[in-house]
Amino acid sequence: MYYSLAPMDWITDIAYRQIVKEVFEKYNDDKNKELLLFTEFVSADGFVHNFDWVKNHLLFEGNEHPIICQIFWSNLQKLLYTAKEIDEKYNFDGIDLNVWCPAPKIMRQWAGSALMIDKENTLKMIKILSDSISKPFSIKTRAGINSSDKEKQFKFIVRASEFCDLISVHARTLNQWHSGEADLDYVLKLKKRINPNCKLIFNWWVNEETLSDKNFLEKVSNLDWIMIGQAAIWNPWIFVWINPSWNEKREVIWKHINLSVKYKWERRWVVEFRKFIWTYIKWVKNASKYRMEFMKVDNLEDFKNILFNI
């Protein structure tokens, strides 16, 4: 069983993926083990009409393989154009369609989770996309729209597995929103039913606690991959089960913010980095005092002064 870093918009950009990968390479002692990375989701509508807006999401470095580029939208022509362009012009290891996102602004475009509504049409799109590119094709989806949709969604995933090389399943329904138990058994049952050539990723709230639960680990060992999202935001060491010293953590934070500056200076990087620092310093003594200080800085020098005085 392998690990995957979940696609997370505004989090798993080129800078953070490199941090996660570097930590993984440093500590992973099993050469057969891989960490699968995903890009943030890339709008096919943006790719077609406003490339400047999405181009940062398509950046990656050679050391990030295996890396899958995730796209989203509802219009087949735009998805097809985007998938083909990415297939031909970028060296990603695969292309993933988002059948997951619950955000109202995405669903209003009939994209993301809304693709679970007309499953027949979505299956047709999946087949066309998969047939039209040379790279592996995958989807990321959920256990359904609500509890009464779970069985239909199960059949949808089984059928989609005929056209996909990989499927990530977030083991909760759309209606469960941010609460409710993950249905691990649903995913284990899927594993037995899907096309054996299609790999399966389990996703939902894998964290330090679940990773130390022997019962959970034994169950998921029957799956191909487990995907970690939120628990990895402040903890790139989660994939190698390391609890780093503060000195090591500080070096990583410093490297992370410098990489963010290198790749996306135009995104008001130091201000944006607040989302990471908030959780990175979670266990530091007087964390709230330092957080307040970090909230006021907007340049690297001041950031460094606070960081290296902790």
Ligand X SMILES: Cc1cc2nc3c(=O)[nH]c(=O)nc-3n(C[C@H](O)[C@H](O)[C@H](O)COP(=O)(O)O)c2cc1C
At closest approach, how far in Å is the CB of 72 from ligand X?
Answer: 7
138 scored as a contact of ligand X (CB under 6 A): no
Q: Closer to ligand X by CB, 277 or 307: give it.
A: 277
Beta bridge partners of 226: 3, 202
Alpha helices in 170-222 (DSSP H): 184-193, 208-211, 214-220
At closest approach, how far in Å is the CB of 305 from ligand X?
Answer: 28
Residue 262 exposure: Cα atoms within 13 Å on the Cβ side: 14
φ/ψ of 153, rounded to 5, equals -65, -35
Q: Closer to ligand X by CB, 11 or 300: give it.
A: 11
Comparing CA positions, the residue from 150, 137, 133, 232 lying closest to residue 185 is 150
In the list 140, 199, 249, 256, the residue contacting ligand X (rule: CB under 6 A) is 140
At closest approach, how far in Å is the CB of 20 from ligand X?
Answer: 13
Gap between the Cα atoms of 54 and 295, Å rounded: 27
At closest approach, how far in Å is the CB of 289 from ligand X?
Answer: 26
Gap between the Cα atoms of 149 and 308, Å rounded: 52
**x/- contact string, 155-184, with ligand X (CB under 6 A)?**
---------------x--------------
8 scored as a contact of ligand X (CB under 6 A): yes
Query: Interface residues with ligand X (CB under 6 A)?
Result: 6-9, 11, 40-41, 70, 98, 100-101, 140, 170, 203-206, 228-231
